[in-house]
Amino acid sequence: MPKLNRDGVSIHYEIHGTGPAILLSHGYSATCRMWDGQIAAFKDRHKVIVWDMRGHGESDYPTAAGAYSETLTVADMAAILDAAGETSAIVGGLSLGGYMTLAFHLRHPGRCRALMLFDTGPGFKKDEARETWNKRARDRGDDLDARGLAALGASDEVRMSQHRSASGLAGAARGMLTQENDGAIRSLETIAVPTLVLAGANDTNFLAATDYMAAKIPGARKVIIPDAGHASNLHQPVAFNRAMEDFLSSLG
């Protein structure tokens, strides 16, 4: 599979199929393998592009703290589209990948044909709430440094992922899982492309955020998947793919 050299940091990405491009970004501590079900379902009519974020999976785990950030992640996404020969794509992601999808649209709205936001949130307007989130992310990084990969737990998206060490995940927690500002949440009302906002009904930590995004994004389509948790595409793949197919079909 191809690798992208980003100033000495190797980024793993994969291209499956042909057709209108879809760029999918995974959640924190997962890898592109979480999208295998969507690759299989859509590669016959779409170019499905998936990748491993810095510090994850088959990408590099740089040691410098400055090698992990929202800005660099968004730039990685743009570089992957360039490498795939795409000026624009349907851009989507789950959890951290969904937040980075919003961050990407904020910087590159012209490169987004449509957005798909899965089991995610748009960040926080209030500094205090953002700092509470960021402290949890930094604590997670410290726990990974102390306990290694054992600190990851056993969620579905984590269990199907392979990481070479915990060092990259710790760096990603501090530099990518933390949020720099309120840009993403304040951008919601400016989104002018078709948007799917989807969550599992049991993903209680993100249901309010799903409602908020669906209300703020003009014309957004909201879907709640019954009997699914945070990794809704893994818990209910048939229902998830149906919702995704319905949305993609509506794009014309």
Measured from the Cβ of residue 167, the count of other Cβ atoms closer than 10 Å reads 17
**CA-to-CA distance for 111 and 60, rounded, in angstroms?**
26
DSSP secondary structure code for residue 7 in this structure? T
Q: What is the Cα gyration radius of the chain? A: 17
Angle value at C-alpha 130, between 125 and 133, nearest 5 degrees: 145
Domain of residue 207, residue span: 3-250
Q: What CATH number is associated with residue 85?
A: 3.40.50.1820
d(CA 222, CA 235): 18
Along the 252 residues of the chain, how does pLDDT read in single tens digits? Answer: 789 999 999 999 999 999 999 999 999 999 999 999 999 999 999 999 999 999 999 999 999 989 999 999 999 999 999 999 999 999 999 999 999 999 999 999 999 999 999 999 999 999 999 999 999 999 999 999 999 998 987 777 877 789 999 999 999 999 999 999 999 999 999 999 999 999 999 999 999 999 999 999 999 999 999 999 999 999 999 999 999 999 999 997
Distance CA 239, CA 231 (A): 13
**Cβ pair 40, 54 in contact under 8 A:** no
- CA atoms 165, 169, 174, 176: torsion sign: positive
Q: Residue 204: exposed, middle, or buried by beta-carbon count in 10 A (0-12, 13-18, 19+)?
A: exposed
Where does 156-196 have alpha helices with state H?
A: 156-159, 167-172, 183-186
Domain total of the chain = 1
